[in-house]
A and B are shown apart, each in its own frame.
Chain A
Amino acid sequence: MKKRFALLAVPMLLSMLAGCGGSNNNTPDSAATSAAGSQPATATAASSSDPVTLRIAWWGGDTRHSYTQQVIDMYEAQNPNVKIEPEYASFDDYWKKLAPQAAANRLPDIVQMDVSYINQYGSNGQLEDMTPYLNKTVQVGDVNENVLGTGKIDGKQYGIPLGVNVLGFHYDPALLKKAGVDSVPENWTWDQYKEIAMKAKAAGLYMDSSMAADIFFNYYLRTKGLSLYNTDGSALGYDDDALFSDFFGMLSDLIAKGAVPSQDKLSQNKGVIEEADVVKGTGIGIWQWSNQYVALQIAVNRPMELAQMPGPDMEKGLYMQPSMYWSVTANSKNKEEAAKFIDFWTNNVEANKLIKGERGVPISSKIKESLATELTEPGQQVFKFVADMEPKTSPMSPPVGSPEVVALLTDLAEQMNFGQITPDAAAVQFRKEASEILANR
């Protein structure tokens, strides 16, 4: 009896151990990857038919996961020697996974990068400078210099933008008319914005749902020739706290006057588009990126339009925002093959017919043209809007930002909107705490 127990114990124990070691399952996988990977690395481009395994990681929702997998399948069919292993997650989880992988030098070969993170990863030596690959492996002849430049930090190309977005005001023209305004003026100013907002209030409508603190304050600073951070990210990029008070004073003032929903109400709607005032017909519009327009248009289900940012000096403030980048990691053993996949993504017409501009308006002008007929009505509106804005934008380098500073600014904006702190006091507090965070990094 006792012996039989002992015999039983062994397989049970083994299976339990296997269960415990679940988190280590990657080890044999990646060992195989690097074993397969080291071959072509030593033999370089001479034998491109050697089997290669690429790991690729991105964040996104269900739609993105499924079409990205289709593009990967298409690529694998055309390059039978390449096997691509996808790893995907939601935005928040993505960065929680990527940071430890970076610490362990085990990043995937290709990673999707965000503007707020690319500088951190690039300057920490995690990403490959793509400059030598440009117009050799990755064709960028049809890409606007201002657009490609958004992936450049200190002259090093750390990422190839997947698509671009432009800030704007997305609104329902019928509701705007209801407020007694025929259309958004061609080159409108902040004063005109405030005027229209008060008219909306008089007509029983909300003007908008306020503005994301970090993004729009940065735009406002850029119109003054400044920016939120200085070039190396060691301090704030502006000296005059009056700019802070002016901008956030305007936002919280509109809330106090009732032209924009109270912070109380804003907190409730966070993140769910269906609950937005513009969808319910009680708000005229939303300030956001152009790629968010299509989803909004579907939710609103009434004719909508895109308007440019208020000025003065809109041209100085506006920039082409890369929706995201593909970056090749420094620890990749297959950089050449990884670059080939990025080229496929950027320049292959059939692949882009699957992508349909979901990651922003494509950067290659040829792809943009060939997609024009494939798009839905709102999609065409976005492409046109971005095309109209492109010549008006100024160059941008990804800021050396810090999620901690953004969180601080968002907090303070919330407190100002609640009327718990004056913009002047918030400006001082922001400077003090943000400087500490930036200096301490």
Chain B
Amino acid sequence: MGQRLRKNLTGYAFISPFIIGFLCFTLVPMAISLYLSFTKYNLFAPPRWIGFDNYIKMFTGDPKYVHSLKVTLLYVFIGVPLRLGFALFVAMILNTRSRMVGAYRTMYYLPSIIGGSVAVSIMWRNIFSDTGIINGMLGFFGLGPVSWFGNPNAALFMLITLSVWQFGSSMLIFLAGLKNISGEMYEAASVDGASFLRKFFKITLPLLSSVILFNMVMQTISAFMTFVPAYIISKGEGGPMDGTMLYSLYLFRQAFMFNNMGYASAMAWVMLLLVGIMTGILFKTSKSWVFYESGEESEPWRTIKSNGLSIIFSSAGLLLSCCTRYFGWSSAPSRRAASYL
């Protein structure tokens, strides 16, 4: 054993769980899924090579797929800006000096900790149900009950509000960014008689722009992959009238309800491409609106940029794991199953 290898053995030992995990549970499944995307595979018969048929069918022979793409884009383009705006708003409030600020920060972050979970989605369903609290409040103001699950557009809106409500992680990052802006600038601006709005647009936003970019990229990626709320709230069907048929939910239905594994794999790869393109566009346009104080990109940013590819890959890995997770037994009896008998 070479001297160097021996010296580094501890390091290798420590990092090996990740490397093994990455190889076994990310890279190999990804390679297999790429192969499967060119085949027709229903799990019973061996995969049959069909070339690009899956990809062609997606855009020419499957209106539902195109619809799910539209729903997802709506969800991303409405949901992400709303969420970021809200996160920034709350971050600015929490950036003030008040006595209870620690407790408030914890409280506002809580929804994100429990965010993606099934329980929250079920709670959300109850809040917006026929006789739920939202309709109760609307009734108080003399507005008729809205059927949030009956109306396709309302159902998507409800999903978006859920995503906006889970603003905590981006808020924390904004908060850190806000803390980094030195108070002297605001003081100087105040002396010059700048209004609050002027200070916000001329100091806060420019100095926060790199943080905004970071949040936007991360949130866009995760919004594209949203699955749990749509699955729970629509009981796995994407209804009503496919109003909540998000991309990953349709992918899941193709894979695990209809056993079209090849088609679902192809969908996953198109999704990867889409997320990659979106991220690329964000980085390209960022040059014109992201402002770096030193005149040059800050060190962490250069790292993140050069690792853009790995961000994309890890998002694809997440997507895959979101699917493979469903191979596991869940002994939790679902209501639907109980009523199915």
Contact = CB atoms under 8 A, between A and B. Distances in A.
Contacts, number: 141
B99 interface: no
Nearest to A99: B43
Interface string A248-289: 000000000000001111111111110100000000000001
Interface string B312-340: 00000000000000111111111111111
Interface string B144-156: 0001011100000
B138 to A, nearest CB: 15
Q: Which of B24, B237, B327, B338 is most buried by chain A, counting CB atoms within 10 A of its CB?
A: B338
A439 to B, nearest CB: 13
A77 B125 CA distance: 45
Nearest to A93: B330
Given A9-B10, A403-B258, A271 B20 contact: no
B340 to A, nearest CB: 5
Nearest to A62: B333
Given A13-B16, A60-B338, 15 more contacts: A9-B14, A20-B21, A65-B331, A90-B336, A96-B256, A124-B45, A264-B150, A268-B129, A269-B130, A271-B339, A289-B341, A404-B258, A414-B239, A414-B240, A415-B241
B194 interface: no
B333 A6 contact: no
A217 interface: no
Contacts of B334: 90-93
Contacts of A20: 17, 20-21, 24-25
B239 A13 contact: no
Contacts of A90: 330, 332-334, 336-338
Contacts of B332: 90
A263 B130 CA distance: 13
B334 to A, nearest CB: 4
11 contacts: A61-B333, A61-B338, A91-B336, A91-B337, A92-B334, A92-B337, A93-B329, A93-B330, A97-B327, A268-B129, A291-B341
A47 B331 CA distance: 36
B9 interface: yes
B197 interface: no
A435 interface: no
Contact of A2 (B10, B239, B260): B10
Contacts of A17: 17, 20
Contact of A267 (B150, B329, B330, B341): B150
Given A418-B241, A420-B241, A92 B149 contact: no
A13 B331 contact: no
B54 to A, nearest CB: 12
Nearest to B326: A96
A6 B331 contact: no
A271 B17 contact: no
A13 B13 contact: yes
Contact of B147 (A60, A92, A264): A264
Nearest to B41: A103
B326 A91 contact: no
Contacts of A133: none
User: Does more than half of chain B's interface fall in helix, strand or loop, or is it mixed?
Assistant: loop
A89 interface: yes
Contacts of B337: 59-61, 90-92
A262 B129 CA distance: 16
A: contact size bracket: 35 or more
Nearest to A103: B43
A268 B9 contact: no
A146 B278 CA distance: 59
A414 B253 CA distance: 18
B150 A271 contact: no
Interface string A406-433: 0100110011001010000000000000
Nearest to A402: B258
A142 interface: no
A168 to B, nearest CB: 15
Interface string A33-71: 000000000000000000000000001111001000000
A294 B147 CA distance: 30
A48 B151 CA distance: 61
A265 B257 CA distance: 26
Contacts of A126: 44
B153 to A, nearest CB: 12
Nearest to A9: B13
B240 A407 contact: no
| List of 9 A-B pairs having minimum Cβ-Cβ separation, nearest first | A264-B150, A61-B338, A90-B337, A91-B337, A90-B334, A103-B43, A124-B44, A61-B333, A267-B240
Contacts of A270: 149, 235
B257 to A, nearest CB: 6
Contacts of A441: 42
Given A13-B13, A13-B17, A90-B336, A264 B240 contact: yes
Nearest to A296: B339
B157 to A, nearest CB: 15
Interface in B86-102: none
A31 interface: no
Interface in A91-124: 91-93, 95-97, 99-100, 102-103, 120, 124
Contacts of B204: none
